[in-house]
Chain A
Amino acid sequence: MRVLLSCLLVAILGLPAIAAPWIQEAPSGSIEIEGYHPDKNLFLERDSKFTVLVKGVDATRLRVIYRPTSKVEALEDIGEIQGGKIVWTPSQAGLAKLEAFVLVEVKDEKGDTQTRPKVLVSRVVSIKPGEGFPLGLLIMALAGAILFFGAFASIRALLRS
C-alpha cells in the first residue's frame, strides 16, 4: 500500500514535468492571408493591401520581419489585431516572416521589468515585387552575362591557343 501511495505521489508530482513539453509548446494557431495561395500562383505583392487572419491564438499585435535571419532583416510593426483580423500592406518584396504576438512583462538581469513580445504563431510568406523597375532582373542578367560570356570567351581563346 505504501509503495502504491508513493508511486501515486511521484506520479502526481511528476505530472507537470511530464506534461511540460506539451504545456510549453506554442498553441496550435495559424496565420492565414486572404488571396494568398502560392500553390495556385497567388502571391502577396509589394504595396498591395491584404487581410491577415490570426486564428487559434489570442495574439494582440502583428509584426513582420523582411528578409529574416539575414544581415539586412527589417522589423516592421503592422499593428493591433482586431477580431482576429488586420490589414497589411507589404512594403518590401522577398521572403518575410509574419509574427502574431502578445506583450508580456519580463524581468531583465538587473531585475527591472520590461515589456517584451511573446510570439504565439508565425508564418513565412513570399512577396512578389509587383510593379516597378525590375532591378533584380537586371542584376541577374548582368551577372549571368559577365560570368557566362566571360567563360565562353575564355574557353574559346584557350582552345585556340
Chain B
Amino acid sequence: MTEPRAQWKSKMGFILAASGSAIGLGNIVMFSSNAYKYGGGAFYLPYFIALFLVGIPVMIAEFGLGAFTKKSFPMAMRQAGGRVGEFAGWFAILNAGLITMFYVTILGWVVGMLIRAIAMEDVSQGFAPGNTVWSDLIRGWLPVSAVAIVWGLNILLVSKGTKTIEMAVKVFVPLMWVAMLVLVVVGFFLPGGFDGMQNLFAPEPEVLFNPDVWRGATSQMFFTLSLGFGVMTAYASYLPDHSDHSHNAITTSLLNCGFEWIAGVAVFAMLFAYSQLPASGTLGMMFTVVPSGIAALPFAVKIFGVAFFALLLIAGLTSSISLVEALVASLQDKFQMPRGRTLAICAVVGFLGSTLFALPILIQVPAEGGPPGEAPIGLMLLDFMDHWAFGYGLILVGLVECLVIGWGIGAQNLRKFINQRSRFQLGAWFDVLLKFILPILLTLLLTFSIMDQDILKETVYGTGITTADGAGLWNSLVEWSPKLILGLWVIGCGLGAWLLSGATGADLDDRAVEEEVAEIQEEGGLL
C-alpha cells in the first residue's frame, strides 16, 4: 500500500532544511580556499555571476521539477524525459550515494577530532602548527566506530522523513549561524583580524582574464548549492501546492552564499592574524590549518576547538541527511517499499561504503621518514572519488537536467507552473537560459575540464601513480588506481542507473504529467 506523501509543516521548516542541505563542510572551508586561490575580491565577480546565471535558475528548476511531479529526482526526471531522463536521475542519485559514503567518512573524522579535542589537555599545544592529530587519527580504528555513530545519527534524523528532518534543522541551522557569527566576532578582535577580512576581498583584477577562475566559480556554485544531487527535487516534492518556488530558491541560495561569506570572513581573519597559508584542499583546511589557527587564540582555546568541530559536525549532518533522504525517497518512489526497510537498506550499504573509505588498512599515511612507497590509499580513494563524483558528476547531471527539463517538460511550461504560485515572475529569459545558455555553458565547462587537466594530460587523475618500488600486486593496484577508480565510477553509476531505470517499479501514470502540461498551456493561452 502506498504511503501518503509527507509534507513540510512550515515554509520556514523547508527553507531551513534546503539551506541546511546546501550549507555544509564545503561552505566553512572550501569557499575560503577557493577565494584565496582565485584572487580574493576579484573572485566575487565570477562568483556572483555564477550565482545569478547558474545557481538560482538551476535551483528554481530543481524545486519546480519536484513540486510539479511530486516525485523524487529519478521518477521526476522520468516524467520529464522518459527512460533517458530516469537513467540520468538514477545516475545522479548513485553519484550522490557515493558522495554520501565518503562525506560520512569525513564526518566520522570530524567526530574523531571532536573526541580528541574534548580529551586533549592542552588544545593550544595539541593543534599547534605541524601537529599530527588528524593523520594519527585516520591511521587508527576510531574513525570506523565514528562512521557508525554518524550513520546512526543519519538514520535517527531521517527516520520519520520530513518530520524528523524539520525538527533537526530547526535546531541545527540556527545553531550553525550563531557559532559562525561568534567565530567572526572573535576573528574581528584578533590582532590583524580585520585586515585579514579585508584581504579576502582585496581584488586582483588580472584573474578575471583567467578562464580557470570562471570555471572555478561555476563549479563552486554547483557544489555549494547542492545542485545535481537530486536533493532539492526530493525536498521540493514535499512542498504544498501553493508554494512559491522562485522565492524559495532565491532565499535558499542567498542564505547559503551569505553563510559562505561569513565563514570566509572568519577563516581569513584567522589566517591573516596567524600568517597561515590556506591549504589547497578542504581536508587540509578543515583538519590542519583552521585548528592551528584556533590553537593560537589567546583565550578559550579548548572551547573554540571543541565548538569548531561541533559546528562542522552539525553543518555536515544537515547536508548528509538531505543526501540520505534523496536516496531513500528515490527508492521508495520507484519500488513503493516501506520507509523503514528502504532506510535500512540505504544505511547498511552506505555504512559499508563509508567504512571502506575509513579503513586504517587503506589509510597508510607514510610515517615521517618512512618509505615513500606506502601511499595513502584510503585518502587517494576518497580524493579520486571526490574528483570525479563532485568535479564531473554534478555538472554532468546538471547538464542533462537542464536539457530534460528545458526540452522534456518544456522550460516555458515549468515557468508557467512556477509563475502561477510565485510573486516573483520569471520571464522568457528563464526558457532561453534553461534550454540554450546553461547547456552550452555546462558543456563548455565539462569539455575544458577534461581537456585541461585530467584524462588527456599527465596528471595524477589521468595516469597511474608511481610507487617507490613498483613491483607486486599491491603496488600495481596503487599505480592503476586512478584509472580503476574512474572506471568503477563510470561503470558503477552507469550500470546501476541502467539497471534501476529498467527495473519494474511503480506504475507511473505518465499521462498525468501530459495532462498537467496541457492544462498549463491552456491556462497560458497556448492551446
Q: Which residues of A contact B (CB under 8 A)?
A: 21, 38-41, 43, 67-72, 93-95, 97, 123-126, 128-129, 134-137, 139-140, 143-144, 146-148, 150-151, 154-155, 157-159, 161
Contacts and interface: CB of A to CB of B under 8 A. Distances in A.
A126 B273 contact: yes
A41 to B, nearest CB: 4
B5 interface: no
Interface stretch (B40-48, B224-232, B471-479): B40-48
A14 B423 CA distance: 78
Interface of B: 11-12, 15, 36-41, 44, 48, 191-192, 195-204, 206-207, 210, 212-213, 244, 247-248, 250-251, 254-255, 257-258, 261, 265, 271-278, 280, 369, 423-424
Contact of B254 (A21, A41, A139, A154): A154
A71 B202 contact: no
Contact of B192 (A41, A134, A140, A148): A41
A49 B271 CA distance: 23
Contacts of A70: 36-39
Contact of B423 (A124, A137, A157): A157
A4 to B, nearest CB: 28
User: What's the dominant secondary structure at chain B's contact region?
Assistant: helix
B203 A136 contact: yes
B275 A95 contact: yes
Nearest to B45: A139
Contacts of A137: 198, 201
Given A94-B199, A135-B202, A71 B39 contact: yes
B273 A38 contact: yes
A135 B261 contact: no
B195 A161 contact: no
Nearest to A18: B369
Contact of B272 (A95, A135, A155): A95
B11 A158 contact: yes
A94 B203 CA distance: 11
B265 A124 contact: no
A72 B207 contact: yes
B173 to A, nearest CB: 13
A161 B212 contact: no
Given A43-B192, A129-B195, A97 B261 contact: no
B199 A151 contact: no
Given A21-B369, A43-B195, A134-B198, A71 B424 contact: no
A65 to B, nearest CB: 10
25 contacts: A38-B274, A39-B191, A41-B191, A67-B204, A69-B277, A70-B37, A71-B37, A71-B207, A95-B271, A95-B272, A97-B277, A125-B275, A136-B199, A136-B202, A136-B203, A139-B44, A139-B202, A140-B201, A154-B251, A155-B251, A157-B247, A157-B424, A158-B15, A159-B11, A161-B423
A140 B200 contact: yes
A95 B48 CA distance: 24
A21 B370 CA distance: 10
A70 B204 CA distance: 11
Contact of B40 (A69, A136, A146, A159): A136
Given A69-B37, A137-B198, A143-B48, A126 B258 contact: no
A159 B192 CA distance: 40
Contacts of B191: 38-41, 43
Given A126-B273, A139-B41, A147-B257, A72 B11 contact: no
Contacts of B254: 147-148, 150-151, 154
A154 B271 CA distance: 33
B38 A93 contact: no
A38 B251 CA distance: 39
Contacts of A72: 38-39, 204, 206-207
Nearest to A146: B48
Residue from B37, B199, B207 having most chain A Cβ neighbours under 10 A: B199
Contact of A151 (B197, B202, B255): B255
B39 A151 contact: no
Given A38-B191, A139-B201, 9 more contacts: A41-B191, A43-B192, A71-B213, A72-B207, A123-B275, A126-B273, A128-B192, A139-B202, A144-B261
A161 B244 contact: yes
B264 to A, nearest CB: 9
Nearest to A151: B254
